Amino acid sequence: MQESDFYEVAEEFINFANELSEDWAQPFLSAVFLYAASRFNAHNFFLTDGDSANEAAAIAYYVKQYRKMLAENIQELRPDDTVPPSRLAG
């Protein structure tokens, strides 16, 4: 797997979320995607390890990765402070 593959697949999830946002509210979709990611990662944990002795470490790993990715995306998507907020909407 290459980095470009990673971002290509991530973009597919983002595009799907954007399609769903035509029918569902943004906060609802955010919660749904968080739930789906946690569900998928719990499933992945049991497929790749599943040892209850490693459960806390697995949770810590996923939380650390999410925190890092969220911080990076907030920085990347932060609106330019010179643009008036009214021009950022829509």
Per-residue pLDDT tens, the chain, 90 aa: give them: 799 999 999 999 999 999 999 999 999 999 999 999 999 999 999 999 999 999 999 999 999 999 999 999 999 999 876 555 555 554
| Alpha carbons 55 and 58: distance in angstroms, whole number | 5
> Is 87 within a domain?
no
> Is 10 within a domain?
yes
> Is 85 within a domain?
no
Residue 82: the pLDDT is: 58
Count up the domains in the chain and report the number: 1
For residue 62, the enclosing domain spans: 3-79
Q: What is the pTM of this model?
A: 0.77
